[in-house]
Structure 1
Amino acid sequence: MPTSEQTAAPSEQPQQSDPTRPWAALADDPTIALGPLDGRYRSDVAPLVDHLSEAALNRARLHVEVEWLIHLTATGAIPGAPTLTEAEVAYLRDVVATFGPEQIAELGAIEAETRHDVKAVEYFLKRRLADAAGVLERTSLPAASELVHIFCTSEDINNLAYAVTVRSAVHDVWLPAAHGVADAVADLARDQAATPMLARTHGQPATPVTLGKELAVLAHRLRRQLARIAADETLGKINGATGTFGAHAISVPGTDWEEVARTFVEGLGLTWNPLTTQIESHDWQAELYSDVARFNRVLHNLATDVWTYISLGYFAQRLSAQGSTGSSTMPHKVNPIRFENAEANLEVSSALLDNLSATLVTSRLQRDLTDSSSQRTIGIAFGHSLLAIANVTRGLAGLDVDAAAMARDLDANWEVLGEAVQSAMRAAGIAGASGMADPYERLKELTRGRRVDGDGMRAFIGDLGLPGDVEARLLAMTPADYTGYAERLVAHLG
């Protein structure tokens, strides 16, 4: 017989919310971020906003337009153009320096009408030239309106704007943070240069090393990539619609436009690219992003290795440095969240950088717009990398080395001395000692797939008939002693 619930009228049934509809109109609130970089992790990536945000790009476009106008008047490239006074030059540069929220909103309103970002910047600057008459006495700026954006295609402005913003983001924000994490690894390597540790090749116990040497390898790799990144060229061009200076040459044939372009681009701190289509070819960007992605992957290797050392007990984590909650249900745990967070963000960053490196080097014939959309992800790519760097830096600062745990592992794996014994036997045989035949096979029989303790290894050594000095040296050796030059190799970090 049906229950009362089964026979209730449809209107009496409990109503569930529609999962496809939001509880509130969140999309109408511009302060709610779609992505984590502008929401949860904003504090870690905020320094990049001044370089790689849309507003920063527009400020850079304005900077390029202003400097192009100043350059044209200063070089006398266009007969009849006014010579600007110091006050007029200062006024123009102040347009860039004061580009803030009010100006961003104004530019946005202009772009809503033009439906073209660079054209909006041009019109914004022309407004400021018109306004100069109310600020400066006897100014020629209102009459110089047609100098704004003259001979320029949008890509002349865009390529230079991206160049100056990416360069400043890398050198002012990303590189200092990346050097910071590399230095932190190097400092830890020096501190632990002499701390012996069981190595694991293919995950199996192997010839001992020191913790410091292994960290030094990673620090050295990171620094090598940073040296490449710091030396990467940043190219720029300003040569018209198809890279021929066509409009320049036909309009003002008496000016050496290549020289004007070269000095302008170099004056922005960039390397002049004389051979382009409508776009600067973006090869320098592809090179830079490949190098940053490679740095990311080395840092990812560091994060996975440190995570493994934590799981082995070689590192202990201080709770205050990692976060207040280790697990929502297991209170004993301190999870290596900093390194796991870094892994994820490095993977996202590298994927974006790989895509940029692969796509930006190709443009159909003289121009297509795929680069325009792709380049809007540059800030996201660097943001995820910067966030990862911050997490690794914090994670490293919260580690304590457990040398006793490493010592226990070493003492439980005397079989790793097999390499030392068979190599000493070979050397002794070459030097003329008898009875040293088949050293590898003899050690394999003793050690492969077996645990050998100290007494067993010393008994084996004592039965080999080695020369006295060699035997004494091997008998005195423990796994913790068998680290070769590991400690002194750390000094290569400088």
Structure 2
Amino acid sequence: MKITDISPAIALSPLDGRYHSQTAPLVEYLSEPALNRERMRVEVEWMILLANGMDGNGSSDQNTVIPQGGHAASLLGGVQPFTPEEISYLRAIPEDFGAEGIEELALIEATTHHDVKAVEYYIDRRLDMAAEVLGEQTELARLKPLVHFACTSEDINNLSYARCIKNAVELVWIPGVQSIVDLLTDKAEQYRDLSMLSLTHGQPATPTTLGKELAVYVYRLNRQLKHLSQQEYLGKINGATGTFGAHLAACPDVDWLAVSREFVEQRMGLSWNPLTTQIESHDWQAECYSTISHVNRILHNLAVDVWMYISRGVFAQEPVKGATGSSTMPHKVNPIRFENAEANLEISCSMLDTLAATLVESRWQRDLTDSTTQRNVGSALGYGVLALNNLLGGLQAIHPNTAVIEKELNGNWEVLGEPIQTAMRAEALLGKDGMDNPYEQVKELMRGHHISQHDVQSFIDSLNYDPDTAQRLRNLTPAGYTGIAGGLVDYARR
């Protein structure tokens, strides 16, 4: 039997197959049906603005309607303002777009071979059926020319994509990152004073605290989330080459610039771009994807660091009951979640980087390279969401192995060479004898040798420190040599 003959169809992408349950929230915003539903919303809201004008319905709350007898005035001749019932009927078209509608739209597109035109015809059919719901007095069927009035496909597409992407980023992706930030913040606070050995260049170095190292990631991620909170999502509605040519030819007395701005900002909830070719230039998308890719790389760094901490024994994993770490070695608890996160972050970054690089270019006033490219935004974010889920689950299932941490610290007294030689420098500046070449003296003692607590304290006693400095250095241990690391955790939230 051919797998391709199985019904329902088997997914090709793991995002829609093996990992569907984890990436499903993005389907609501970045799937093909979600895009078509948003196209319907844009078309319908444009009709409402044209019919009811800019007074009284300028709210971004799309449930607000103009009451009968209000100040509504159509922008076009021959069109009476829609009644509240008609507005509700129109807005129900995208809201009721479900399985049957998806199938119907696909059949229409099979004839039109044009996705936006298929949406237009789908709405036309609903206008033809309006009398069955609203009564014969409605004129919606006569007003089919309002659908897609003075629009090019990109007027609909750019607004639809912007709204889809905005919702996906703000309602799915950012909350996923925020969950990781919140968990890291809690762990940073919990372990702010838990000393651990640092490794710079893979070699024992000045101790730190586990909380401070986690707080570094919190700080880095919060900066990028702040950038995303200020991200603009631009939109335009200005015709075939951005000149409002058709608008003015049909209705020269309308202030189309004001109408365009009103629609994009107030009705669509986006930032208005007044100056475009046929397409909105996608610069905001490049900015957004670059920031998300940056976050991915920070998270990739985190996943790799934690993986190595687990390998080193600093973190212990909590085994999942019934889970298998290896098909042949029963003892293993593999850090699989961090490995999955690492791999999927790399895939997400590669797609986001490609989107950011290619979407900002379009030949002259229009080419279609962006059309197929933008259909992959869901996959780019999908691999990112998959990584976020794995990383969060991995972080929730680890805890510090204090026995290993203490053993590392107690086995590396040579890390106290730094404070000893720095204190010697301070004494040399005061003119104390025997403090010349402090770095070289400590290097001679400690480099390439195993150093014990006794060796360190004997060296301190051999030097001409003032009594207070000598006692302060004698009291130092690797675990106690963390400076103000614990206090620095407070900056993670700022």
Q: TM-score, normalised by structure 1?
A: 0.94
Q: Which residue of 2 aligns with 1:79?
A: 77
Query: By how many angstroms is 1:194 displaced?
Result: 0.4
Q: Which residue of 2 aligns with 1:203?
A: 202
Between the aligned partners of 1:459 and 1:256, the Cα distance in structure 2 is 87
SS in 1 for 2:375: helix
2:16 equivalent to 1:61:
no
What per-residue deviation string (whole Å, max 9, x for no partner) do you get for residues 287-326 of structure 1? 00000000000000000000000001011101128x7111
Q: Which residue of 2 aligns with 1:51?
A: 29
Q: How does 1:345-364 map to 2 (within 5 A)?
A: 345-364=344-363
Q: Which residue of 2 aligns with 1:287?
A: 287
What per-residue deviation string (whole Å, max 9, x for no partner) do you get for residues 397-432 of structure 1? 101211221110011111111111000111122233
Query: By how many angstroms is 1:172 displaced?
Result: 1.0
Between the aligned partners of 2:193 and 2:285, the Cα distance in structure 1 is 41
What per-residue deviation string (whole Å, max 9, x for no partner) do you get for residues 216-266 of structure 1? 001111111111112100000000000000000111100000000000001
Q: Which residue of 1 aligns with 2:63?
A: none
Between the aligned partners of 1:288 and 1:42, the Cα distance in structure 2 is 24
Is the 8 Å Cα contact of residues 178 and 389 (structure 1) preserved in structure 2? yes
Between the aligned partners of 1:58 and 1:179, the Cα distance in structure 2 is 29
2:243 equivalent to 1:219:
no
Between the aligned partners of 2:329 and 2:158, the Cα distance in structure 1 is 53
2:373 equivalent to 1:395:
no
SS in 2 for 1:35: coil
2:371 equivalent to 1:372:
yes
User: What amino acid maps onto 1:115 in structure 2?
Assistant: H
Is the 8 Å Cα contact of residues 188 and 210 (structure 2) preserved in structure 1? yes
SS in 1 for 2:199: strand
Unpaired runs of at least 5, structure 2? 54-73
User: What amino acid maps onto 2:283 in structure 1?
Assistant: D
What per-residue deviation string (whole Å, max 9, x for no partner) do you get for residues 428-487 of structure 1? 222332221110111111112222111111111111111111111111111010000100
Q: Which residue of 2 aligns with 1:29?
A: 7
Query: By how many angstroms is 1:190 displaced?
Result: 0.9
Between the aligned partners of 2:430 and 2:304, the Cα distance in structure 1 is 44
Between the aligned partners of 2:4 and 2:77, the Cα distance in structure 1 is 56
Worse overlay, 148-157 or 29-38: 29-38
User: What amino acid maps onto 2:314 in structure 1?
Assistant: Y
Q: Which residue of 2 aligns with 1:427?
A: 426
Between the aligned partners of 1:448 and 1:30, the Cα distance in structure 2 is 67
Query: By how many angstroms is 1:80 displaced?
Result: 2.0
Q: How does 1:472-483 map to 2 (within 5 A)?
A: 472-483=471-482
Query: By how many angstroms is 1:79 displaced?
Result: 2.1
Query: By how many angstroms is 1:30 displaced?
Result: 3.6
Q: Which residue of 1 aligns with 2:115?
A: 117
2:285 equivalent to 1:307:
no
Between the aligned partners of 1:82 and 1:432, the Cα distance in structure 2 is 94
Q: How does 1:29-428 map to 2 (within 5 A)?
A: 29-75=7-53, 76-137=74-135, 138-267=137-266, 268-320=268-320, 324-428=323-427
User: What amino acid maps onto 2:482 in structure 1?
Assistant: T
Is the 8 Å Cα contact of residues 110 and 120 (structure 1) preserved in structure 2? yes
Is the 8 Å Cα contact of residues 189 and 211 (structure 1) preserved in structure 2? yes
Query: By how many angstroms is 1:27 displaced?
Result: 4.8
Aligned sequence identity (%)? 55
Between the aligned partners of 1:59 and 1:286, the Cα distance in structure 2 is 24
The RMSD of aligned alpha carbons is: 1.1
Between the aligned partners of 2:453 and 2:306, the Cα distance in structure 1 is 29
SS in 2 for 1:436: coil
What per-residue deviation string (whole Å, max 9, x for no partner) do you get for residues 34-59 of structure 1? 01111111111111000000010000
Query: By how many angstroms is 1:63 displaced?
Result: 0.6
Is the 8 Å Cα contact of residues 82 and 144 (structure 1) preserved in structure 2? no
User: What amino acid maps onto 1:119 in structure 2?
Assistant: K
Is the 8 Å Cα contact of residues 338 and 394 (structure 2) preserved in structure 1? yes
Between the aligned partners of 1:74 and 1:282, the Cα distance in structure 2 is 30
Between the aligned partners of 1:442 and 1:162, the Cα distance in structure 2 is 65
1:63/1:467 Cα in 2 relative to 1: closer, same or farther (>3 Å)? same
Between the aligned partners of 2:199 and 2:79, the Cα distance in structure 1 is 72
Is the 8 Å Cα contact of residues 114 and 120 (structure 1) preserved in structure 2? yes
- Structure 1's consecutive aligned runs of 4 or more residues displaced over 4 angstroms after TM superposition are none
Between the aligned partners of 1:118 and 1:206, the Cα distance in structure 2 is 61
Between the aligned partners of 2:3 and 2:480, the Cα distance in structure 1 is 66
Q: TM-score, normalised by structure 2?
A: 0.94
What per-residue deviation string (whole Å, max 9, x for no partner) do you get for residues 63-86 of structure 1? 100000001111122122221000
Worse overlay, 358-367 or 182-191: 182-191
Is the 8 Å Cα contact of residues 205 and 413 (structure 1) preserved in structure 2? yes
Is the 8 Å Cα contact of residues 234 and 271 (structure 1) preserved in structure 2? yes
Between the aligned partners of 1:125 and 1:403, the Cα distance in structure 2 is 65
User: What amino acid maps onto 2:87 in structure 1?
Assistant: V
User: What amino acid maps onto 2:125 in structure 1?
Assistant: R
SS in 2 for 1:135: helix
Between the aligned partners of 1:74 and 1:413, the Cα distance in structure 2 is 77
Is the 8 Å Cα contact of residues 234 and 284 (structure 1) preserved in structure 2? yes
Is the 8 Å Cα contact of residues 3 and 10 (structure 2) preserved in structure 1? no
What per-residue deviation string (whole Å, max 9, x for no partner) do you get for residues 178-224 of structure 1? 10111111111111100101001111111000011001001111111
Query: By how many angstroms is 1:150 displaced?
Result: 0.9
Between the aligned partners of 1:437 and 1:139, the Cα distance in structure 2 is 97
Is the 8 Å Cα contact of residues 163 and 234 (structure 1) preserved in structure 2? yes
Worse overlay, 78-87 or 387-396: 78-87
User: What amino acid maps onto 1:46 in structure 2?
Assistant: A
Unpaired runs of at least 5, structure 1? 1-22
